[in-house]
Structure 1
Amino acid sequence: MDNLKIGIDLYGGDNAPNSVIEGALFALKNKYLSPQNLVIVGNDITPEHSEKISNLEIVPAKNLITNETKPTEVLKLKESSMYIGCEMLKNNQLNGFVSAGNTGALLTSGTFVAGRLRGIKRPALVLALPSKSNKPKILVDAGANAEVKSEHFYDFAREGIAYAKFLNLDNPRVAVLNIGSEDEKGNTIIKEASKILQEKEHINYVGYVEARDLFDDTCDIIVTDGFTGNNVLKTMEGTAYFILHELKETIKKGGLFTKLGALLLKGSLKSLVNKIDYRSYGGTFFLGVNGILVKAHGSSDSEAIANALYVAYNAAKFDLIKKIEL
């Protein structure tokens, strides 16, 4: 049995603390982690749950961060669960930390409390997306850095490559998101970023990729600024759920043969839903900081929390942080 420890923010998320505790229990029941691997950061445990988690390590912390908390304020809230969790990462008391709380506050905590890795100027949110092939497509940055310099794309590429190795993608192809595939397309930052990546022999850089080709097998890693990346992500989510909604409405209004056809396609439709369901991905990695930091979806239920703990534990076991080339 290993001695890895993964912390979970008791107060993070719309459904906390119940969803967090139930997620921890879900993870233990399904043997994602053992009790020795799990640490709850926060101590407002209800009598209903206290006996069920009596064998877990609990670190006292306060519920001080809300969705309205400004990112910079978290640095003053040193008794908060988020601050304490990231501090434990820095001090190697945790090998990973998961939170479904305020994204901006978590990114600030990760950057300034846990600290950046040596040689990394800009940590980024790294996310696995579905694609037409069976391989995941990696998006960097998914929302951490709204404004970037061209040199930061090199950090994003290294972070994406490390995550690709974690997902068993060999020699992953890196592309820069652009408004066209031609060399003359794009703004100054994009063109300079492309030139930087071309000059890095250890990076398998394949050029530009357009947003409409994100799901094609043209590359494995897409690097972009966080403003663009987050908008791409939310557009994808919105479009996917719109299509599913319209499909359901069409079936509901259709005749007998439409409903029979839908019944025959039930298994395929369920597979499609699972492919775009955020709960199956566990969470978004914030790479480039000193430790495994996972941002779970704010509306995570117990299953999503359990999956976030699972991917954090496996990333720590894989030693993901050391895979980022410095």
Structure 2
Amino acid sequence: MPNIKIGIDLYGGDNAPDCVVEGALFALQNKFLSPDELVIVGDEISQEDKKRLNNVEIIPAKDLITNETKPTEVLKLKESSMYIGCEKLKKKELTAFVSAGNTGALFSAGTFVAGRLEGIKRPALVLALPSKNNKPKILVDAGANAEVKADHFYDFAREGIAYANFLNITNPRVAILNIGSEDEKGNSLVKEASDLLKEKKNINYVGYVEARDIFDDTCDVVVTDGFTGNNVLKTMEGTAYFIMHELKETIKQSGLFTKLGALMLRSSLKSLVNKIDYRSYGGTFFLGVNGILVKAHGSSDAEAIANALYVAYRACKFDLLSKINL
């Protein structure tokens, strides 16, 4: 494994650049990254912070990418932090790049600037979800590819398996998300994809899984198109927030004993919220890109940025890209 160099997008995310700087400092102070392993792409940093970031390489970047920037526009913004970071991935000057910026723009930069891994037609957004047995469930694609072909499911399966291995899941079971578990259910796309995965000896394919069974111990990797995957993710997120909101409202309107009981359960409820929050894993991956590309949540605070850097560091040490069976 070559020397680790992890780039962080200074201008990515709702709380940039301050939280990105603080997250980088947090990573250095906790010593899982050394100054010579970290590169900050973007130079809007105070002199005081530059002193605190002593020996960390800082690369200037001019063009700004916002949430309104269209994915294709990033390819013209060659002096943006996102473009520069992905270009350095391509040149192997970075082993990983982390950004909390525009998801579509990052995927576009990763795919067309850093480039695809040889043998991969479609990179995908790969993330870990909670499940009943406390073992993470891998979702691929979580929103990168709205329209796909059947053979792209083979790419998604291999990307998901590599990430499952990264999370210590051996011989992960792969399932296709469908409206039913029976072979005759679903549209022509999932049927064709299912037939394809059945033929692949390097895939432990177990058939279809319904959305309501995602949290059960029926499979380890769930593959679907990005349109469906992103809707699943946002439905889960919205449902979790709705349940917590209704629970709080019910407690407010209840008597003293209920409120005392809720107070006693506060730490347990907080633990539950953390468990159902996929962001607790620190960052998600665009896998299939020619480099380790980590997408941090857009609203990441300093701790979340540090977590994303740590995930990227672990992926470098694990040599994640080599685990994608090409």
**Which aligned pairs between 1:287-326 and structure 2 lie closer than 5 A?**
287-326=287-326
How far apart, in 1, do the equivalents of 2:254 and 2:303 lie?
34
- 8 Å CA contact 1:10, 1:81 repeated in 2: yes
Q: Against the structure 1 CA distance between its residues 63 and 301, is the aligned structure 2 distance closer, same or farther, given a 3 Å change threshold? A: farther
Q: Which residue of 2 aligns with 1:77?
A: 77
- Displacement, 1:48? 4.1
AA matched with 2:47: P
Pick which of 32-41 and 178-187 moved more.
32-41
Q: Against the structure 1 CA distance between its residues 2 and 27, is the aligned structure 2 distance closer, same or farther, given a 3 Å change threshold? A: farther
- 8 Å CA contact 2:63, 2:78 repeated in 1: no
> Per the alignment, in what secondary structure is the counterpart of residue 68 of structure 1?
coil
Return the TM-score normalized by structure 2. Answer: 0.98
Matched, 1:57 2:57: yes
Q: Which residue of 1 aligns with 2:177?
A: 177
- Displacement, 1:277? 3.2
- 8 Å CA contact 1:143, 1:229 repeated in 2: yes
How far apart, in 2, do the equivalents of 1:38 and 1:277 lie?
27
Q: Which residue of 2 aligns with 1:208?
A: 208
- 8 Å CA contact 1:11, 1:63 repeated in 2: no
Matched, 1:222 2:222: yes
How far apart, in 2, do the equivalents of 1:30 and 1:195 lie?
48
How far apart, in 2, do the equivalents of 1:28 and 1:59 lie?
18
How far apart, in 2, do the equivalents of 1:33 and 1:50 lie?
17
Gapped regions of structure 1 (runs ≥ 5)? none
AA matched with 1:141: D
Gapped regions of structure 2 (runs ≥ 5)? none
- Displacement, 1:63? 4.2
- Displacement, 1:263? 2.2
Measured against aligned partners, the alpha-carbon deviations of 1:165-199 in whole angstroms (never above 9, x if no partner) come to 10000000000000000100000010000010111
**Which aligned pairs between 1:134-173 and structure 2 lie closer than 5 A?**
134-173=134-173
- 8 Å CA contact 1:126, 1:139 repeated in 2: yes
AA matched with 1:98: V
Identity over the aligned pairs, expressed in percent? 81
Q: Which residue of 2 aligns with 1:95?
A: 95
The runs of at least 4 consecutive aligned structure 1 residues that moved more than 4 Å come to: none
Q: Against the structure 1 CA distance between its residues 78 and 13, is the aligned structure 2 distance closer, same or farther, given a 3 Å change threshold? A: same
Measured against aligned partners, the alpha-carbon deviations of 1:253-282 in whole angstroms (never above 9, x if no partner) come to 211110121122222112111113344211
AA matched with 1:289: V
Measured against aligned partners, the alpha-carbon deviations of 1:120-158 in whole angstroms (never above 9, x if no partner) come to 000000000001011000000000000000010000000
How far apart, in 1, do the equivalents of 2:175 and 2:279 lie?
27
> Per the alignment, in what secondary structure is the counterpart of residue 262 of structure 1?
helix
Measured against aligned partners, the alpha-carbon deviations of 1:43-70 in whole angstroms (never above 9, x if no partner) come to 1112342221132111111242111111
- 8 Å CA contact 2:129, 2:278 repeated in 1: no
AA matched with 2:310: Y
AA matched with 2:167: L
- Displacement, 1:36? 1.8
How far apart, in 2, do the equivalents of 1:193 and 1:174 lie?
12
- 8 Å CA contact 2:63, 2:77 repeated in 1: no
Q: Which residue of 1 aligns with 2:247?
A: 247
How far apart, in 1, do the equivalents of 2:66 and 2:48 lie?
24
Q: Which residue of 2 aligns with 1:196?
A: 196
Matched, 1:3 2:9: no
Return the TM-score normalized by structure 1. Answer: 0.98
AA matched with 2:49: H
**RMSD (Å) for aligned C-alpha atoms:** 1.3
- Displacement, 1:31? 2.4
How far apart, in 2, do the equivalents of 1:187 and 1:2 lie?
45
How far apart, in 2, do the equivalents of 1:281 and 1:32 lie?
16
- Displacement, 1:214? 0.6
> Per the alignment, in what secondary structure is the counterpart of residue 160 of structure 2?
helix
AA matched with 2:190: I
How far apart, in 1, do the equivalents of 2:31 and 2:240 lie?
32
- 8 Å CA contact 1:98, 1:294 repeated in 2: yes
Pick which of 114-123 and 35-44 moved more.
35-44
- Displacement, 1:118? 0.4
- 8 Å CA contact 1:13, 1:100 repeated in 2: yes
- 8 Å CA contact 1:279, 1:307 repeated in 2: no
